[in-house]
Amino acid sequence: MMQIRQRPDPTLALVPSRPPTAAGPAEVLTTIQVSNLSIVFDTPQGQVIAVDRVTFSVNQGEFVCIVGPSGCGKSTVLNTIAGLEVPYSGEVTVDGRPMQRPRPDVGMVFQQPHLFPWKSVRSNIAHGPRMLGKSRGEARAIADGLIEMIGLGRFADAYPHTLSGGMQQRVAIARALANQPRVLLMDEPFGALDAQTRSVMQDNLLELRERIDATVVFVTHDIDEAILLADRVLIMSAGPGRILRDLGVDLPRPRSNAIMLDPAYIALKKDCLDLIRSEGRRAFEQSTAG
């Protein structure tokens, strides 16, 4: 089928977009490149600009968090990197190849676990490898390894609805890792969990991170979560979404939730909060002035 790539509406050009992130040293490889990405949705109320000329790149092995208020277009950006959404204008490439449809080298964990209810924990995790042509035995071995890693050995044969929300989300992470993706996308994966479970899951993810070498893009609206997990934090403005600030997080690894008391951490968080507060005021004044 032929696809017509529309030019962006010139009225979108009210706010200049950030230039592309400067390239690092030569040996640093860019895994994800998002260039001038705009996404427009057709709704009954007319066109909605969800993402407005966003540009950023993620280097190989990096852990990048995208923070921003809800509705600012975080999920839309992530879905486009996943190949679930096609750019309205601009381009997204992973390992140099444009994303047009989902690819098994890009895995995704959603806010809801979305486990297949008719498959056991093991079969859920083995699903990806089986779809990629691995034999039942190989897929099972991969699944069993991951089940050990997420500490759910006792639940390998359980069905998803018998697990708690946190356990389900661990299975969803393992399922996404089973295809050994180059890129792991996570869309507020802990957003639906209670505070206690969430901090345990964050520590788990930090441990996991030391053992896998996937490049991770993690979306959240929680500043603490972003600084705790990320090598870099991208702060997005309220809709239409733009990148406000690209912030390096130079905190030592391995980290855990205990780092939240570190003065360097607190200073970073203050920077973020100031930025978000002034942006919030700007958005508010803009909306009341109009």
Task: Give how far Cα 129 sits from Cα of 35, 43, 103, 139, 161, Å.
Answer: 31, 37, 13, 5, 23
Please report how close the Cβ of residue 86 comes to another protein at its closest, in angstroms: 14
Residue 175 interacts with another protein (CB under 8 A): yes or no:
yes
- Total site size for Mg ion, rule CB under 5 A: 1
CB neighbour burial string for 195-215, b if at least 16 within 10 angstroms, e if fewer: eebbbebbbbbbebbeeeebb
Near another protein by CB under 8 A: residue from 6, 9, 41, 116? 116
Please report how close the Cβ of residue 52 comes to another protein at its closest, in angstroms: 24
Output 80 or 204, the one with its CB closest to ligand ADP.
Answer: 80
- CA atoms within a 13 Å half-sphere pointing along the CA-CB vector of 239: 14
Subset of 65-84 contacting another protein (CB under 8 A): 82, 84
Partner touching 76 among ligand ADP, another protein, Mg ion, none, CB below 5 to 8 Å by kind: ligand ADP
Residue 179 interacts with another protein (CB under 8 A): yes or no:
yes
Q: Using CA of residue 191, residue 59, residue 80, residue 124, what is the dihedral sign?
A: negative
Please report how close the Cβ of residue 221 comes to ligand ADP at its closest, in angstroms: 7
Residue 75 interacts with Mg ion (CB under 5 A): yes or no:
yes
> Cα(72)–Cα(67) distance, rounded to whole angstroms?
9
Near another protein by CB under 8 A: residue from 127, 140, 198, 242? 127
Partner touching 72 among Mg ion, ligand ADP, another protein, none, CB below 5 to 8 Å by kind: ligand ADP
Output 66 or 150, the one with its CB closest to ligand ADP.
Answer: 66
Strands, E, within the chain: which ranges? Answer: 30-43, 46-59, 63-67, 89-94, 97-98, 106-109, 183-187, 215-220, 232-236, 243-248
Give the interface with ligand ADP as residue ranges (CB under 6 A).
41, 43, 48, 50, 68, 70-76, 239
Partner touching 102 among ligand ADP, another protein, Mg ion, none, CB below 5 to 8 Å by kind: another protein
Please report how close the Cβ of residue 229 comes to another protein at its closest, in angstroms: 21
Please report how close the Cβ of residue 74 comes to Mg ion at its closest, in angstroms: 5
Please report how close the Cβ of residue 78 comes to ligand ADP at its closest, in angstroms: 8
SS (H, E, C) 29-98: CEEEEEEEEEEEEEECCEEEEEEEEEEEEEECCCEEEEECCCCCCHHHHHHHHHCCCCCCEEEEEECCEE
> Cα(245)–Cα(243) distance, rounded to whole angstroms?
6
Residue 189 interacts with another protein (CB under 8 A): yes or no:
no
Which positions ≥6 away from 39 have C-beta within 8 Å? 49, 50, 51, 73, 76, 77, 80, 85, 87, 88
- Part of the chain binding Mg ion (CB under 5 A), chosen from 15-23, 28-36, 73-81, 232-240: 73-81
Residue 117 interacts with another protein (CB under 8 A): yes or no:
yes
What does the binding site for another protein look like in residue numbers (CB under 8 A)? 82, 84, 102-104, 106-108, 110, 112, 114-119, 127-128, 131-132, 159, 161, 172, 175-176, 178-179
